[in-house]
């Protein structure tokens, strides 16, 4: 029996990490976006941010960090003294991030005169959305085909070398820069905070995002994989001019407060300094490049030939196609006309027509580090 499988999300599967600690009680979040619970996205690794904990390690409060990143956008005046700053951004507007060399004399001499690589990401701040990030981002992709969550404004930027935006990672950009030279990178965030809230009665409160920057130096093999520094800040993104209106509203609210109440809040700063945080979890790649004979084009059909007509054989053949271990495929389902998922059995395979064609989708298994495969 010959099967042809169309893989619209091949790059995502290949370049995806493995989610850990998935909370099954959160599996329904974000389904109003239309992605379904089985979609994959660009980033599957869970972020390590925790709202109830500081991003700063306890021993680093007085430490001089090697780099400093400054987002040229004002912080909100309506933030209490000991809370993290919050910065409002307009959708699609270019914002400058100044990349500053903060090293003391003689610190990190191995990067003097050399380039470093920085990766900028827009990720979720809330824990509940972090757990379903792959569903949320894939839902956004379906609703905004061809758009990116994060872009670099290359003509505006200064000192940036070899900028890259992976077409399968909509919320990530990267570039090289020389710390000894002036570097300012301009970014544009195209998603808005209310696109990821549950639609109920209108006027929903938007979710906060994080902008995180991770910087790396070259290893002995010339790859930029040795971590140097990470920092992030909390932002909300509004429709054009909405951030200005929100900033004005917060300012007017604060002006109406009594003097003793005002003392409990931070002043609004003209710029936002990203604070040190843990590095973004390293993504475990199944395969970082197409294997021989494997075309990663979304529109290619890939033939699978079955002899025994068993679920075990199908699992092995799909694993070969993805260049992963069969153990990483937990179960294979067939999606019915109403969207229900039916477990594929030997009998079902034996009743499939010859040369039948399926589109493959994947979702993370809840109980282990494997994947479920959905035949559509």
Percent of the chain with pLDDT over 70: 73
How far is residue 103's CA from residue 83's CA, in Å, rounded to a whole number? 28
Q: What is the pLDDT of residues 213-240, one digit of tens each?
A: 999 999 888 899 999 999 999 999 999 9
How far is residue 239's CA from residue 109's CA, in Å, rounded to a whole number? 44
Choose between 219 and 302: higher pLDDT. Answer: 219
Look at residue 5 in the predicted model and tell me its pLDDT.
53
Helices (H), the chain: 10-14, 127-131, 133-143, 242-255, 259-262, 311-322, 346-350
Is residue 232 exposed (0-12), middle (13-18) or buried (19+ Cβ within 10 Å)? Answer: buried
Apex 129 CA angle, 125 and 130, nearest 5:
70
| Tokens found for residue 257 | 């407060």
Q: Which residue has the tokens 């910087």?
A: 215
Q: Is the Cβ–Cβ distance between 211 and 235 less than 8 Å?
A: yes
Going by DSSP bridges, is the β-strand pair 329-335/371-375 parallel, antiparallel, or unpaired? parallel
Compute the average pLDDT of residues 68-96.
95
Q: Residue 341 — φ and ψ, nearest 5°?
A: -100, 125
Order the strands of the 150-152 sheet from edge to edge: 150-152, 183-189, 95-101, 67-71, 272-273
Look at residue 104 in the predicted model and tell me its pLDDT.
86
Percent of the chain with pLDDT over 90: 38
CB neighbours of residue 315 within 10 Å: 19
Sequence-ordered list of residues with C-beta below 8 angstroms from that of 140, at least 6 positions apart, any chain: 33, 149, 170, 191, 195, 196
pTM of the full structure: 0.61
Longest dimension (CA), the chain: 80
Q: What is the pLDDT of residues 237-284, one digit of tens each?
A: 999 999 999 999 999 999 999 988 889 999 999 999 999 998 887 543
Is residue 113 exposed (0-12), middle (13-18) or buried (19+ Cβ within 10 Å)? Answer: exposed
Closest C-alpha to 322, from 28, 87, 16: 16
Q: What is the pLDDT of residues 92-130, one digit of tens each?
A: 999 999 999 988 888 888 898 899 999 999 988 776 676
How far is residue 49's CA from residue 124's CA, in Å, rounded to a whole number? 9
The DSSP output letter for 80 is B
Compute the average pLDDT of residues 65-72.
94
How far is residue 192's CA from residue 90's CA, in Å, rounded to a whole number? 8
How far is residue 190's CA from residue 181's CA, in Å, rounded to a whole number? 29
Beta bridge pairs of residue 174: 119, 164
How far is residue 48's CA from residue 230's CA, in Å, rounded to a whole number? 12
Per DSSP, the three-state class of 64 is: coil
Q: Cα Rg for the chain, rounded, in angstroms? A: 23
Label residue 4 by pLDDT band (50, 70, 90). Answer: low
Q: Which residue has the tokens 């993290």?
A: 84
How far is residue 92's CA from residue 237's CA, in Å, rounded to a whole number? 9
Compute the average pLDDT of residues 278-292.
48
């Amino acid at each position: 029996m010959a099967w042809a499988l169309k893989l619209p999300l091949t790059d995502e599967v290949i370049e995806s990490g493995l989610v850990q600690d998935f909370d099954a009680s959160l599996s329904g979040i974000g389904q109003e976006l239309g992605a379904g619970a089985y979609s994959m996205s660009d980033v599957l690794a869970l972020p390590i941010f925790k709202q109830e904990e500081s991003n700063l390690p306890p021993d680093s409060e007085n430490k001089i960090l090697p780099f400093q990143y400054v987002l040229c956008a004002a912080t909100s005046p309506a933030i209490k003294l000991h809370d993290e700053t919050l910065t409002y951004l307009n959708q699609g507007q270019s914002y400058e991030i100044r990349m500053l060399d903060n090293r003391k004399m003689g610190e990190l001499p191995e990067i003097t005169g050399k380039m470093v690589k920085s990766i900028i990401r827009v990720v979720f701040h809330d824990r509940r959305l972090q757990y379903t990030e792959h569903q949320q981002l894939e839902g956004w992709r379906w609703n905004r085909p061809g758009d990116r969550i994060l872009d670099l404004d290359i003509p505006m930027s200064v000192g940036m070398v070899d900028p890259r935006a992976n077409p399968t990672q909509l919320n990530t950009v990267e570039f090289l820069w020389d710390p000894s030279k002036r570097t300012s990178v301009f970014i544009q965030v195209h998603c808005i905070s209310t696109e990821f809230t549950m639609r109920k009665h209108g006027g929903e409160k938007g979710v906060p995002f994080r902008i995180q920057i991770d910087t790396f130096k070259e290893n002995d093999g010339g790859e930029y994989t040795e971590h140097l520094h990470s920092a992030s800040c909390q932002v909300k993104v509004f429709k054009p001019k909405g951030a200005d209106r929100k900033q004005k509203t917060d300012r007017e609210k604060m002006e109406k407060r009594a003097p003793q109440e005002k003392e409990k809040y931070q002043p609004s700063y003209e710029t936002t300094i990203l604070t040190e945080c843990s590095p973004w979890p390293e993504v475990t790649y199944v395969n970082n490049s197409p294997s021989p004979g494997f075309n990663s084009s979304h529109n290619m059909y890939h033939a699978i030939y079955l002899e025994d007509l068993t679920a075990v054989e199908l699992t092995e053949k799909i694993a070969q196609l993805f260049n992963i271990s069969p153990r990483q495929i937990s179960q294979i389902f067939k999606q019915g006309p109403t969207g229900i998922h039916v477990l594929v059995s030997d009998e079902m395979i034996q009743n499939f027509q010859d040369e039948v064609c399926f589109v493959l989708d994947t979702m993370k298994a809840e109980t282990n580090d494997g994947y479920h495969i959905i035949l559509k």
